[in-house]
């Protein structure tokens, strides 16, 4: 069964004061049987120096296990088309990281341009914001592929995210750091087709987060979709 980790960090962190090395990601992948790894920069590093996106892309060219995602800067520049990125990461845009959203962003005329450009590129965006911000953002989209990390757990109550987006087929969820019980509730409501396995290294481990999926009381073919097939479909990965 193929396993793709849809949520890890790579490189140094300005605020956490640590670094996730290529060697550490490969070590965890070897230990847990993960064959491919989505990587994006730490927010603090990307905000301090946008060139980390290019360094991450260069590393993904070198390490074939890596699937690079572009960190969306505060200028709301969309994913550079044709450069080799497979998705994007939007993280508390101009807000307080992991704490509160900046709702003025929703009024920025560049947001509409960003959404339109992202929908044309047709790559997924991992969006981490408060629930109310996320809900307002998604309402502005038509077919933008939105991935909500942690089943919404860091932006509020996961059940609020579930109720709000269960009918939006363009909204997906990753399982990083979520409980097994919450994962099952999401599968029951939105189906296994919109759930992605993620570890959130270094805040979680591939082995520990993977064990949650493997132990779920669902059929193996559904686990396979969660572990790799859903992401492959989203990013058009050959």
| Domains of the chain in sequence order | 4-235 (3.20.20.140)
Residue 238 has pLDDT above 90, yes or no: no
Residue where the block lists tokens 């019980």 = 181
**16 has pLDDT over 80:** no
- Burial code (b: 16+ CB inside 10 Å, e: under 16) for 79-88 equals beeeeebbbb
Secondary-structure breakdown of the chain: helix, strand, coil percentages, each rounded to the nearest 5: 45, 20, 35
Look up residue 184 and give its DSSP letter: H
pLDDT, mean of residues 124-135: 98
Work out the average pLDDT over 103-126. 98
Average pLDDT (98-115) is 97
Long-range contact set of residues 79-85: C-beta below 8 Å, sequence gap at least 24:
79/118, 79/121, 79/123, 79/125, 81/121, 83/57, 84/57, 84/60, 85/57, 85/123
Percent of the chain with pLDDT over 70: 100
Q: Which long-range contacts (CB under 8 A, 24 or more apart) does 80-88 make?
A: 81/121, 83/57, 84/57, 84/60, 85/57, 85/123, 86/38, 86/123, 86/235, 86/236, 86/237, 87/38, 87/123, 87/124, 87/125, 87/126, 87/147, 87/234, 87/235, 88/118, 88/123, 88/124, 88/125, 88/126
Range with the poorest average pLDDT among 11-15, 18-22, 113-117 = 11-15
The answer, yes or no, to whether residue 237 has pLDDT greater than 90, is no
End-to-end Cα distance, the chain: 16
219-228 mean pLDDT: 98
Confidence at residue 163, expressed as pLDDT on a 0 to 100 scale: 98
pLDDT at residue number 170:
97
pLDDT tens per residue, range 206-217: 999 999 999 999
Considering the entire predicted model, what is its pTM? 0.97
Question: Does the structure show a pLDDT above 90 at 90?
Answer: yes
Tell me which of 166 and 238 has the higher pLDDT.
Answer: 166
Local structure of 37: helix, strand or coil: strand
For residues 125 and 118, what is the distance between their CA atoms, to the nearest angstrom? Answer: 8
For the chain, the farthest-separated pair of C-alpha atoms sits apart, in whole angstroms, at 46
Three-state secondary structure call for residue 201: strand
Does the pLDDT value for residue 145 go beyond 80? Answer: yes
5's enclosing H/E stretch is strand 4-12
For the segment 128-157, the average pLDDT, to the nearest whole number, is 98
- Summarize pLDDT for 59-77 with one digit per residue, the tens: 999 999 999 999 999 999 9
Q: What is the mean pLDDT of the chain?
A: 97
């Amino acid at each position: 069964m193929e396993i793709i980790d849809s949520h890890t960090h790579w490189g140094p962190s300005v605020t956490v004061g640590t670094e996730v090395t290529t060697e550490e990601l490969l070590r965890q992948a070897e230990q847990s049987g993960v064959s491919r790894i989505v990587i994006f920069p730490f927010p603090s590093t990307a905000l301090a120096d946008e060139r980390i996106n290019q360094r991450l892309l260069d590393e993904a060219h070198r390490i074939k296990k890596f699937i690079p995602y572009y960190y969306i800067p505060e200028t709301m520049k969309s994913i550079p088309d044709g450069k080799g990125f497979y998705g994007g990461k939007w993280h508390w845009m101009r807000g307080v990281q992991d704490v509160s959203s900046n709702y003025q962003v929703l009024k920025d005329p560049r947001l509409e341009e960003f959404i339109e450009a992202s929908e044309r590129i047709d790559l997924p965006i991992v969006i981490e914001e408060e629930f109310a911000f996320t809900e307002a953002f998604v309402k502005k989209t038509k077919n933008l592929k939105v991935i909500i990390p942690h089943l919404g757990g860091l932006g509020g109550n996961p059940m609020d995210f579930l109720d709000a987006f269960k009918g939006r087929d363009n909204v997906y969820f990753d399982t990083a750091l979520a409980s097994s019980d919450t994962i099952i509730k999401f599968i029951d409501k939105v189906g296994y087709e919109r759930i992605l396995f993620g570890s959130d290294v270094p805040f979680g481990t591939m082995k520990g987060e993977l064990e949650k999926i493997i132990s779920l009381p669902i059929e193996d073919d559904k686990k396979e979709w969660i572990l790799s097939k859903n992401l492959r479909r989203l990013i058009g990965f050959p």
